[in-house]
Amino acid sequence: MFTKESIREQMRKLRMALSENDVSKASKACVNRILSLAEYQEAKTIFLYAAVRNEVDVTLLLEHALKYGKQVAFPVSSEYGELDFYAVFDRGDFHKGKFGILEPPKDILVLPDEDTMVLVPAVAFDIRKNRIGQGKGYYDRYFDRYPDALRIGVAYDFQVVDAFETGRHDKQMDFIVTNTQIIV
């Protein structure tokens, strides 16, 4: 079994080697799969993320979700290692935040409920729906606070591996969506 650090290193290299066209095509394929999920169609609130370093770009969902009356929120990380989600009403609402990641204004805090879908980026997932993030634990701590939130991992196919070591704080996803499959 591979260690988290060896997988992080390998996956980051593979992801950074993707061309802008590869990222765009795979992101559109992932978004189309998300749109096809009954869970997306039924969700009243969608938590997205701003892609960095060639992550799958789910901001393509922003306008669709708003058009169909869904509340949309994006994460903001605090200096204390916490993640919270704030409402976004327009693509122009963002500014550069911590780690250079686009963040929404901290005007309207949005808490998840049974009608919320949280899209979660990762460095890698395994086929059991475990996740390796950037290593800071933001999403894991968030899901400790809100364990009932529906968690949809989003990644490229190559980011899904057979297995890796997990810790007791690591949170599994409910689904993983890639450019060619949905893992349930």
pLDDT tens across 139-149, in order?
999 999 999 89
Estimate the crossing angle of helix 20-36 against helix 60-67, to 10 degrees. Answer: 30
Read off the pLDDT of each residue in 64-93 and give the average, rounded to a whole number. 93
pLDDT interval class at 48 (50, 70, 90): very high
Rounded to whole angstroms, how far apart are CA atoms 128 and 183? 9
| 115 bridge partner residues | none
pLDDT tens across 163-176, in order?
898 888 889 999 99
The token pair that represents 140 in the structure block? 């894991």
pLDDT tens across 90-137, in order?
988 898 887 788 999 999 999 999 999 999 999 999 999 999 998 889
Q: Is the pLDDT of residue 60 over 70?
A: yes
Contacts 24+ apart (CB under 8 A), 8-15: 8/123, 8/124, 8/132, 8/134, 8/135, 11/123, 11/124, 11/132, 11/158, 11/159, 12/53, 12/123, 14/158, 14/159, 15/53, 15/54, 15/55, 15/123, 15/156, 15/159
Is 123 within 8 Å of 159 (Cβ atoms)?
Answer: yes
Question: Which is it for the CA torsion 99, 166, 142, 58, positive or negative?
Answer: positive
Whole-model pTM over 0.85: yes
Return the domain boundaries, the chain. 4-183
Tell me which CATH code domain 4-183 carries. Answer: 3.40.50.10420
Read off the pLDDT of each residue in 51-74 and give the average, rounded to a whole number. 96
Nearest residue to 85 (alpha-carbon basis) of 61, 117, 108, 62: 108
